[in-house]
Amino acid sequence: MDIEEEIRKKMDELVSQSSILVASPETIEKLKAKGHPIRSSTITYKDYLDALFDKRRKIADSLIKTLPQLSDSIANSTISALYEELKECFAFGIPGAGITLALILFELACKYRLFEEWKKNDPNSKWERIEGIKLTTVIKGLKKHKVISEEERSKLDEFNVDTRNSYIHYNIQKLVKDMVIGELPSMNIETGEVTVVKDVNASKYPHLWFSAKRVLDQKTVVLIVSFCISWVNRLLSTGK
C-alpha cells in the first residue's frame, strides 16, 4: 500500500468516527491535487427536507419544552408576532436563530417601554426618533425614567456588550473564545500520521468557528432566551 492509499484509508476511518470533518481551504486544495476524491453531493429538495426535518426534530423535541412564555397581558402585535417566530425556531430546532430573535425582542421591548415613558411627557412623541437610538442610550433612558434601577442598568449594559452585540453583529471569534474541544483527531496529509490534540481552543482556528458556535448555541439558548423574555414581560406587561 502506497502512502496515498494509506492516507485515504485513514481519512475514511476518521470520517466514519465523526459526523463532522473539518479542513482548511488550503488542505482541501492539497488533497484535490493529490487525487483524493473530494466531492460535493447533490440531492433532491424533498430528500434534503426529509433529512433536515429528521435531524431538527431530535433537537426540537427537547428545545420546545424550554421556551419561556410571553405574558398574555402584553398587547403589542409586533412583539406577539416576533414571539411566534421565536417559537417556530424552537419548534424546528434552530437555537442560533432563536437567540437572535430573542435579542431583537429584548431590544424592541426596551424601546417600546421608553417610548411609552416619552409619551407620558409628550403625547406627540414620534416613534421614528427612537428607532435611531442605540440600545445603550435606551437603557440609560429607562434608568432616567426610573423604570429600572442603577444595578439593573449595569446588568443590562453588560448583557448588551457581552451577549447582544456579539450575536447581532456576528462576532463569531469572540463568541467561541471560551469553547474548548476536549479531543480533536488530526491527520497530517503529507505523512498520514494521525494525532489526537487535546484541549483545543476553537477560537484559534477559523475553520472550527462555526462548528463551535453551533455547540455554543445549543448550550446557551435557554439561558439567553429566558433572560430576554423575562425582560420583555417585565417591561411590557399590563400593570407594570
pLDDT digits (tens, 9 = 90+) for 86-105: 999 999 889 999 999 999 99
What's the alpha-carbon Rg for the chain, to the nearest Å? 24
Residue 157: what pLDDT?
98
Give the 3-state secondary structure of residue 158. Answer: helix
Which triple of cell numbers denotes residue 203? 477560537
Distance of CA 178 to the CA centre of its chain: 15
Distance of CA 93 to the CA centre of its chain: 12
Extract the residue ranges of the chain whose pLDDT is less than 70.
Answer: 1-2, 4, 7, 10-12, 14-24, 36-41, 189, 239-240
Q: Give me the amino acid identity at 194.
A: V
- H-only helix segments in the chain: 3-16, 25-33, 45-63, 77-91, 95-121, 127-131, 135-144, 150-159, 165-168, 172-175, 209-236
CB contact set of 209 (below 8 Å; sequence gap of 6+): 172, 173, 176, 202, 203
Which triple of cell numbers denotes residue 118? 416619552
Q: Rounded distance, CA 36 to CA 122, Å?
A: 70
Contact call for residues 95 and 223 (beta carbons, < 8 A):
no
Task: Fill in the DSSP letter of residue 208.
Answer: G
pTM of the predicted protein model: 0.80
Alpha carbon distances (Å) from 189 to 35, 192, 200, 228: 12, 5, 20, 46
Residue 24: what pLDDT?
67
Residue 9: what pLDDT?
73
Helix axis angle, 95-121 relative to 209-236, nearest 10°?
30
